[in-house]
Amino acid sequence: MPGPTETLFEVNENDGILYSNQQIDREQVCKDSNLCVINVKTVLENPLEIHYITVEITDLNDHSPTFPEKTKTLEISESALPGAQYQLQNALDPDGGANSVQSYKISQNDHFRLEIKDRGRDKTPILRLQKQLDRETKSRHKLVLTAIDGGTPQKSGTLEININVVDINDNMPVFTKDTYTAALQENAPIGTTVIQVNATDLDDGINGEVTYSFGGEVKDKIRELFEINSDTGEIIVKGNIDFELQDRFDIDIQASDKGIIPLRTYKSVISIQDNMFAVLTKSQLDRE
């Protein structure tokens, strides 16, 4: 057997009984074997006798399963389809046989189920997605994986699994109001803010950052008189407004996110009228 074993036992010279000299830790004496056997050679004198004794060290369930880490973080895209699987860490248990890890269980949840890949001595836990994730509904999920041994009584260990749902650009910007109103004085100074529109996007990061622009059909004359702040959504006077020459200005406004494939909300119409009343109505939502 590997390791020093000669000091573990001795024979009483008077009665010939084999005694252990110390408490035996099976996991230290037989680290890599489920069957722990020590061969002992004894020599008796008067008369001279040599005896070979085989001692089997049975396992005591004195260890709980443990994971290499206390917590595990997974990054899973909300575009992941049901059936996607994620291999988790094996729990470790120095005990052998039935006292080693025998089963796993996962905490109650709506999106994942646990499967076990049996590789003989090792049982590997697999997390399988069974319901698609939605970051806008819930961006983080917390699960607890429990490893259980087969001892009596059973011992167990846990691993905390933190799942971060990675955003995809699946929401378009939406204007916060169906109707906006604004008043504008004729000959308003250049730099005057007519109205500020606002759109929001439920996505995260750049997928949720909104920019504003004029619609593609806005005429050059409108662009000479008004400009839009792409970051704030403010419509600003850029030229000289004369309602005697034109008593109404209709401006198409659109909001886009900054995703790799941007989603766009279009169009909203601002009507700036001679009666100093501006109306913004939201009409069509569509995808670029």
pTM metric for this prediction: 0.68
Do 159 and 185 lie in one domain? The reply is no
Give the residues of the chain that fall short of pLDDT 50: 1-3, 276-280, 283-288
Do 214 and 132 lie in one domain? The reply is no
Go through 226-237 and write b for each residue having 16 or more CB atoms within 10 A of its CB, e for each that does not. Answer: bbbeeeebebbb
Q: Output the pLDDT for position 143.
A: 98
Identify whether 212 is part of a domain.
yes
Do 79 and 160 lie in one domain? The reply is yes
Question: Among 215, 222, 218, which residue's Cα sits nearest to residue 238?
Answer: 222
Q: Output the pLDDT for position 283.
A: 47
What total number of domains does the chain contain? 3
Do 224 and 263 lie in one domain? The reply is yes
Identify whether 43 is part of a domain.
yes
Do 115 and 190 lie in one domain? The reply is no
Identify whether 287 is part of a domain.
no
DSSP assignment, residue 78?
T
> Residue 46's domain spans which residues?
9-56
Do 24 and 89 lie in one domain? The reply is no
Rounded-to-integer distance, Cα 191 and Cα 92, Å: 69
Question: What is the token pair recorded at 270?
Answer: 């601002």
Do 202 and 267 lie in one domain? The reply is yes
**Of the residues 166, 188, 209, the one at which a domain ends:** 166
Identify whether 236 is part of a domain.
yes
Do 158 and 249 lie in one domain? The reply is no
Is the CB of residue 175 less than 8 Å from the CB of residue 282? yes
Q: Output the pLDDT for position 273.
A: 66
> How many DSSP H helices and E strands does the chain contain?
2, 21
Q: Please state, as a whole number, how many other Cβ atoms lie within 10 Å of the Cβ of residue 97.
A: 14
Do 112 and 203 lie in one domain? The reply is no
Q: Output the pLDDT for position 1.
A: 37
Q: Output the pLDDT for position 264.
A: 82
Strand-strand pairing, 37-44 and 264-273: unpaired
Do 211 and 243 lie in one domain? The reply is yes
Identify whether 219 is part of a domain.
yes
Identify whether 4 is part of a domain.
no
Identify whether 45 is part of a domain.
yes
| Positive or negative: CA dihedral 211, 215, 219, 225 | negative
**Of the residues 149, 166, 183, the one at which a domain ends:** 166
**Of the residues 166, 182, 201, the one at which a domain ends:** 166
Identify whether 262 is part of a domain.
yes
Is the CB of residue 250 less than 8 Å from the CB of residue 271? yes
Do 180 and 277 lie in one domain? The reply is yes
* C-alpha distances in Å from residue 278, one per residue of 180, 184, 196, 213, 268: 7, 8, 11, 18, 12
Whether the upstream peptide bond of residue 262 has omega within 30° of 0, thus cis, is no
Do 148 and 179 lie in one domain? The reply is no
Q: What's the CATH number where 201 sits?
A: 2.60.40.60
Q: Output the pLDDT for position 98.
A: 83
